[in-house]
């Protein structure tokens, strides 16, 4: 066991969080309290801090596409991704913002909302072959729809489709239901976890919410950063 001594000075976050240049890569970015809660008052915002928000936005800037579950889109009132402070130079040669890719079976989404109507990079919908035909048509009018799987999204096939569209730097923003399936499918390469210095109890979920992962991935600590008692852990998959 060893103590992690704080290094003096600021870190270059763009360099620290750079995606590997040579392969497709799925990163997840999540926040949890010290007692493992992934929600506070049914949202994740109450767990964060300014540095966490900054990192959340920077990781979007580094990504080619942001995968998120419809549960999170509804709970957090997601709008489209917009350019942010700290993105200078990080998107050179790419679209000004990454599209969102929303996972939904029911397609219970407001296709007239800004997330679809004001997205600079058209929002993608990842859905199943048995989704409601009328809603599927509405989705196709406002979004780039990827159908993968019959009753349940085939995450592996959906990610292949995203990669085929040139999206190699993937960012998953959860929620816990989606992340559990991404991990179960063996698709996760990296977890960025913010540990929030709070003890909450109650009945929130953990950052993965699903059945036991059949083959739990082994992860290696790539770095640990600190800001105002929050920890920013970056774990990558051991191969």
Ligand X SMILES: NC(=O)c1ccc[n+]([C@@H]2O[C@H](COP(=O)([O-])OP(=O)(O)OC[C@H]3O[C@@H](n4cnc5c(N)ncnc54)[C@H](OP(=O)(O)O)[C@@H]3O)[C@@H](O)[C@H]2O)c1
Q: Binding residues for ligand X, per CB under 6 A?
A: 30-32, 38-39, 42-44, 47, 69-72, 75-76, 103-106, 108, 128, 152-153, 173-178, 181, 207, 209
Which is closer to ligand X, CB of 55 or CB of 178? 178
Least Å distance, CB 173 to ligand X, is: 6
Work out how close the CB of 193 gets to ligand X at its nearest, in angstroms, rounded to a whole number.
Answer: 8
CA distance 174 to 69: 6
- Rounded least distance, CB 225 to ligand X, Å: 17
Closer CB to ligand X, residue 62 or residue 200?
200
Structural tokens at position 73: 């889109």
Q: Output the smallest distance, CB 204 to ligand X, in A.
A: 8
Coil vs helix vs strand at 186: coil
Beta-bridge mates of residue 146: 126
- Please give the torsion angle defined by the CA atoms of residues 15, 45, 194 and 33, in that order, rounded to the nearest 10 degrees: 170
Residue (128 or 236) nearer to ligand X, CB: 128
Asked if 157 and 188 touch (Cβ cutoff 8 Å), the reply is: no
DSSP-derived 3-state class of residue 200: coil
Please report how close the Cβ of residue 1 comes to ligand X at its closest, in angstroms: 28
Nearer to ligand X, 43 or 166 (CB): 43
Neighbours of 137 (CB within 10 A): 11
DSSP H helical ranges for 63-211: 70-76, 114-117, 133-142, 155-164, 176-184
Q: How far is CA 127 from the centre of its chain?
A: 17
Nearer Cβ to ligand X (76/161): 76
Q: Which is nearer to ligand X, 119 or 148 (CB)?
A: 148
Closer to ligand X by Cβ: residue 30 or 187: 30
Q: Minimum Å distance from CB 39 to ligand X?
A: 4
**DSSP alpha helices (H): ranges in the chain?**
13-16, 50-62, 70-76, 114-117, 133-142, 155-164, 176-184
CB of 237 to ligand X, least distance (A): 19
Estimate to the nearest angstrom the gap between the alpha carbon of 120 and the chain centroid: 19
């Amino acid at each position: 066991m060893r103590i992690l001594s704080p290094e003096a000075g600021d870190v270059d976050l763009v360099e620290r969080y750079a995606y590997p240049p040579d392969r497709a890569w799925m990163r997840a970015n999540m926040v949890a309290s010290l007692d493992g809660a992934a929600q506070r008052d049914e949202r994740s915002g109450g767990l964060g801090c300014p540095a966490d928000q900054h990192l959340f936005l920077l990781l979007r800037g580094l990504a080619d596409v942001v995968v998120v579950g419809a549960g999170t889109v509804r709970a957090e009132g997601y709008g489209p991704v917009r350019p942010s402070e700290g993105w200078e130079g990080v998107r050179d040669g790419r679209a000004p913002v990454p599209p969102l890719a929303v996972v939904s079976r029911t397609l219970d989404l407001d296709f007239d909302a800004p997330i679809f109507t004001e997205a600079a990079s058209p929002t993608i919908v990842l859905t199943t072959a048995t989704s409601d035909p009328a809603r599927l048509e509405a989705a196709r009018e406002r979004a780039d729809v990827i159908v993968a799987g019959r009753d349940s999204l085939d995450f592996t096939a959906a990610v292949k489709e995203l990669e085929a569209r040139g999206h190699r730097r993937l960012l998953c923003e959860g929620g816990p239901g989606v992340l559990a399936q991404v991990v179960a499918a063996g698709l996760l390469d990296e977890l960025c976890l913010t540990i929030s210095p709070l003890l909450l109890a109650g009945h929130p979920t953990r950052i993965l919410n699903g059945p036991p992962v059949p083959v739990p991935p082994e992860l290696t600590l790539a770095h640990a950063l600190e800001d105002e008692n929050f920890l920013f852990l970056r774990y990558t998959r051991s191969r």
